[in-house]
Amino acid sequence: MTNSINEISGAELLFLIGTNTTEAHPVIGYKMKQAARRGAKLIVVDPRRIELAEEADYWLRVKPGNDIPLLNGLMHIIIKEGLYDQAFVEERTDNFEALKETVEKYPPELVSEMTGIPVDDLYAVARLYATTDKAMIFYTLGITEHVCGTNNVMSIANLAMLTGHLGRPHTGVNPIRGQNNVQGACDMGALPNVFSGYQRVTDPAINDKFQKAWGVPLSDKLGLMIPEMFDKANQGEIKAMYILGENPVLTDPNSNHIRSGLANLEFLVVHELFLTETAEYADVVLPAASFAETDGTFTNTERRVQRVRKAIEPVPGQTNWQTIMALSNRMGYPMNYPDPKAIWDEMASLTPSMFGIRYDRLGKKGMQWPCPDNDHPGTQYLHSGSFSRGKGLFQAIDHIPPGEEPDEEYPFLLSTGRILYHYNVTTPYSPGIQSLWPEEMAEVNPDDADRLGVKTGEKVRVTSRRGELTTKVQVTDRVPPGLIWMSFHFAESPANVLTSDVVDPITKTGEYKICGVRVEKLQEA
């Protein structure tokens, strides 16, 4: 997030696009509801009638896969009516004329046709966002899990820069990060192209710095993204994997492709709390320690590094970092850290954005990076005065259609996401949580249910070009006609058997939000 969670309370407008916040991030969602009830305006963009749509001043039911036309259409109106922040654009951005030329091609009437949103709503939302001083944008996987996910994000950044809603409190472009500590994992360099603090492995000076610190030669070549790993596993080019705290058989798109890749490996290590569907393919399963069994740090969505303190001794006998350290020592690279503090302090000493976040400064509330020195208090919001490249760069972005759309053979559009009662694919192991929502209930519009002859609680077969599953349905107008919505939490109805493995070409993120499926009522035996 460019800004901080507590700024929600002082915002005058919350613009939510592609985020079901109250279910996927309920603490932040509660703060949003509080802000709306205190008078903040609320704009929700989502094909489903999510909970926050009920509270919204404007709910834009966009046709899936048309976020870029919507955003370009809003910017078209803002520029045409002279509502953009001219001083901010002139002083702090580049490439405005290219953006202006592109959005000129998205007049409200065309955008309405493409998105299904009434023209009057387009004008109202554009004017409201542009003229509100303290306006925050939030997005999540409903934006990024598309073949054009990166372009979706850049379009959001375009809109924020155009209106000057960056570099100030109660503004910004705020992605709400999903999995537990996903922000921290990325910050620590768990990506194939960067070291900690997003320092590029291809930069000779940075690469040399880490080589000297670690005493080993390091490659300056980019590594593989997860979809590329499984492609190469299927091709026999990757022979072994070590999977820690991840269950790609259920979470990754086109899971049959994942299964075949795992089966094709010569050696698989899975480091896990449970014998998951992925662990069933393992040659070795290493017992993992939970968050309650270890000391260390988590970094949340607002860039806040926080101490985690163990409540009990690790049941496996050692923590995950100790297991990794022991493996490293046996494989020939000595690691002898005495505690998590030593690991953190080494990392911080090599990472300019975290130089000042020493372990003993974290206390109870943690600190937000960037924090360049020991006297710095941490950074509440980013881009005050300038951007990392100096001036912000507008990107001229045109609509990119989904990688796969419904057709005559597969006439329904499938979209996937989370529900309040479960978190990814681990919570079904909890009997208590499972008792609250024990099985998949795929959402189907009443008109479609009538055509299919199916009622709530009855079973259907859902088939895509990649696989099929059975699931119970919930008949509801939360989804529009032609759309079926499922979560991915349940192994008994694994939604990712169906999803497309078309990916964003930059991030390699799968297009979980759009694929064509066929739905058929199951006949009772």
Q: Is residue 169 part of a domain?
A: yes
Tell me: do 331 and 443 sit in the same domain.
no
Q: Is residue 147 part of a domain?
A: yes
- Read off the pLDDT band of 525 (50, 70, 90): low
242 contacts: CB under 8 Å, gap ≥ 6: 269, 271
Q: What is the CATH number of the domain that holds 327?
A: 3.40.50.740
Residue 276 has pLDDT above 60, yes or no: yes
What per-residue confidence (pLDDT) applies to 181? 87
- Read off the pLDDT band of 14 (50, 70, 90): very high
What per-residue confidence (pLDDT) applies to 43? 98
Tell me: do 189 and 161 sit in the same domain.
no
Tell me: do 467 and 357 sit in the same domain.
no
What per-residue confidence (pLDDT) applies to 400? 96
Amino acid letter at 427?
T
Residue 179 has pLDDT above 80, yes or no: no
Q: Is residue 277 part of a domain?
A: no
Distances (CA, A) of 318 to 184, 241, 263, 297: 22, 22, 29, 17
Distances (CA, A) of 478 to 145, 172, 413, 516: 20, 29, 14, 19
Amino acid letter at 505?
P
Rg (CA), the chain: 24
Tell me: do 241 and 262 sit in the same domain.
yes
What per-residue confidence (pLDDT) applies to 424? 87
What per-residue confidence (pLDDT) applies to 294? 94
Q: What is the CATH number of the domain that holds 421?
A: 2.40.40.20
Which residue among 302, 337, 368 closes a domain? 368
Tell me: do 248 and 143 sit in the same domain.
no
Expressed as residue numbers, the domain containing 208 is 182-220+289-368
Q: Is residue 382 part of a domain?
A: no
Tell me: do 455 and 352 sit in the same domain.
no
Give the pLDDT confidence of 93-145 residue by residue, as tens digits: 999 999 999 999 999 999 999 999 999 999 999 999 999 999 999 999 999 99
Partner residues linked to 296 by β-bridges? 308
Residue 52 has pLDDT above 60, yes or no: yes
- Read off the pLDDT band of 64 (50, 70, 90): very high
Give the pLDDT confidence of 447-464 residue by residue, as tens digits: 999 999 999 999 999 999
Backbone angle region of 197, left / alpha / beta, with phi > 0 → left and psi within -120 to 50 → alpha: left
User: What percentage of the chain reaches a pLDDT higher than 70?
Assistant: 99
What per-residue confidence (pLDDT) applies to 295? 95
Strand locations in 97-236 (E): 135-139, 173-175, 194-195, 199-200
Nearest to 211 by CA among 198, 220, 222: 220
Look up residue 56 and give its two tokens.
Answer: 């919204």
Tell me: do 312 and 209 sit in the same domain.
yes
Tell me: do 230 and 250 sit in the same domain.
yes
Chain-centre distance for alpha carbon 496: 16
With both helix axes pointing from N to C terminus, report the angle between 96-103 and 67-80 in degrees, rounded to the nearest 10: 110
Tell me: do 204 and 308 sit in the same domain.
yes
Give the pLDDT confidence of 417-434 residue by residue, as tens digits: 999 999 889 899 999 999
pTM of the model: 0.96
Give the pLDDT confidence of 287-334 residue by residue, as tens digits: 999 999 999 999 999 999 999 999 999 999 999 999 999 999 999 999
With both helix axes pointing from N to C terminus, report the angle between 67-80 and 108-115 in degrees, rounded to the nearest 10: 160
Tell me: do 211 and 312 sit in the same domain.
yes
What per-residue confidence (pLDDT) applies to 523? 82
Which residue among 271, 305, 334 closes a domain? 271
Amino acid letter at 340?
P
Q: Is residue 284 part of a domain?
A: no
- Give the whole-angstrom CA distance, residue 252 versus residue 226: 9
Tell me: do 200 and 244 sit in the same domain.
no
What per-residue confidence (pLDDT) applies to 145? 96
Look up residue 169 and give its two tokens.
Answer: 């409190």
Nearest to 74 by CA among 139, 29, 127: 127
Element of type H or E holding 460: strand 459-463
Amino acid letter at 382?
L
Residue spans of alpha helices (H) in 104-148: 108-115, 119-131, 141-144
Per the structure, how many domains does the chain have? Answer: 4
Residue 505 has pLDDT above 70, yes or no: yes
Which residue among 176, 208, 240 closes a domain? 176
Amino acid letter at 191?
L
Average pLDDT, the chain: 96
Tell me: do 337 and 417 sit in the same domain.
no
Residue 348 has pLDDT above 70, yes or no: yes
**Most distant CA atoms of the chain, gap in Å:** 71
